[in-house]
Amino acid sequence: MFWNKEIECMDEEKLRELQLKKLKEVVKRVYERVPFYKKKFDEKGIKPEDIKTLDDIKYLPFTSKMDMREAYPFGLFAEPLSEIVEVHTSSGTTGKPVVAGYTRKDIELWAELIARSLTMIGVTKDDIIQIAYGYGLFTGGLGFHYGAQKIGATVVPASAGNTRRQIELMKDFGTTVIACTPSYALYLAEYAKEEMGIDPSALKLKKGSFGAEMWTEEMRKEIEKRFGIEAYNVYGLTEIIGPGVAHECPAKNGLHIWEDHFLVEIIDPETGETLPEGQEGELVITSLSREGMPMIRFRTRDITTLHREKCDCGRTLARIERIKGRSDDMIKVRGVMIFPYQIEQAILEVQGVEPHYQIVLTRPHYLDEIEVQVEMSKEVFSDDVKTIENLRKKLEKRVEEAVGVRVKVTLVEPKSIPRSEGKAKRIIDKRNLK
């Protein structure tokens, strides 16, 4: 299904012409309206008229999350506050929050992107979509809300939390589509079965759009098995617009970037050099259409790979692979760089554990140690000590094969790992607490 087939299947040459036209416009706009960018451009000796081809984007300066924090709250807005009709922020857990401003046209654009994304996975006006992302300053809830309304679907604005009520709403309203974080989806399924005696696969859910945190293919399979649905990956970030920057199609072979509104690059996270198609690196995004707060070469820190070959779904827009992790979320243990993604993938390949885990980092004797706490299934927990020990050793071996360094695996009883109604907290770093 297509929301805008002309754009989604656009000829590459026409797409590049459109992108170049928009790139020239947005570069001129930020140079004239955003002092931050004028200063950055002048420092590099770049003028808007120097951008003559798409390749010339490499001459433009990067924008970082630190830049946005230094410009807090409204220093990157390209429109006066009188034209900003909505603001959102990041959580601000690692410093000042990132503030995003939206004009009325930006809200319409956001709704368009989510409408495309949901239509691509088969959502129609006949669906009932329950949005269990947080509403408010977090971009997830309202972004999906606008897009689902644009399609004409019935929206259940449940927001995050109140898990029992979520299940009751699904059951009573006949919810057919769920949108939330993947970790919360797992918790919803677990809560329905264990606390309410409801088989989650007996609900009317048909599909779900999950994002806002890193998750693996193994996690997808677990969600699909428990709910009996098709689970799709959505990608977005507050700095660019929120959810809807990219979304999976039914081929589930990467997430389509809406390239008529976003120009994407893959760079070497260490050198900043642009990498060729098909090579893994850091995703960099330039927003081409946003009015309130355009972003020039924003460094997402998300590690992925870009592919441009035509997809089986018929769309010609580029795809990014599932996000492997963030370059600033990598764990360095004894000189080895590890992504939490690798650990999740390894443990979920082993039978006898639940998809709930935490990674605990310590430094007891000047050397980093890594412990992975994994929940056993009820069946294993009630089994004999030998069976549990064999499972623990199997997990340690599998994780070591995946990450290249020895780790300690601790099997814990069912439901002992804290559940999340938003983004799951996977890493507990105790190395700098002394």
Does the pLDDT value for residue 187 go beyond 80?
yes
The 10s digit of each residue's pLDDT in 372-411 is: 999 999 999 988 899 999 999 999 999 999 888 888 999 9
Percent of the chain with pLDDT over 90: 82
Distance (Å, rounded) from C-alpha 189 to C-alpha 231?
13
The 10s digit of each residue's pLDDT in 296-315 is: 999 999 999 999 999 999 99
Q: What is the pLDDT of residue 337?
A: 77
**What are the chain's domains?**
1-329 (3.40.50.12780), 331-429 (3.30.300.30)
CB atoms within 10 A of CB 366: 5
**CB-based burial, 173-204: b 16+ in 10 Å, e otherwise:** eebbbbbbbbbbbbbbbbbbeeeeebebeebe
What does the pLDDT average to over 211-236?
A: 95
Q: pTM for the complete prediction?
A: 0.86
Q: What is the pLDDT of residue 189?
A: 96
Q: Checking DSSP bridges between strand 319-320 and strand 177-180, what pairing results, if any?
A: unpaired
Rounded to 5 degrees, what angle do the CA atoms 61, 239, 181 make?
140
What does the pLDDT average to over 417-432?
A: 82
CA 287 to chain CA centroid, nearest Å: 17
Of 112-116, 316-320, 322-326, the one with minimum mean pLDDT is 322-326
Q: Are 232 and 252 in contact (CB under 8 A)?
A: yes
Rounded to 5 degrees, what angle do the CA atoms 274, 276, 279 make?
105
The 10s digit of each residue's pLDDT in 2-61 is: 999 999 999 999 999 999 999 999 999 999 999 999 999 999 999 999 999 999 999 999
Cis bond upstream, residue 418 (ω within 30) = no
Q: What is the pLDDT of residue 207?
A: 98
Res. 338 pLDDT band, cuts 50 70 90:
confident
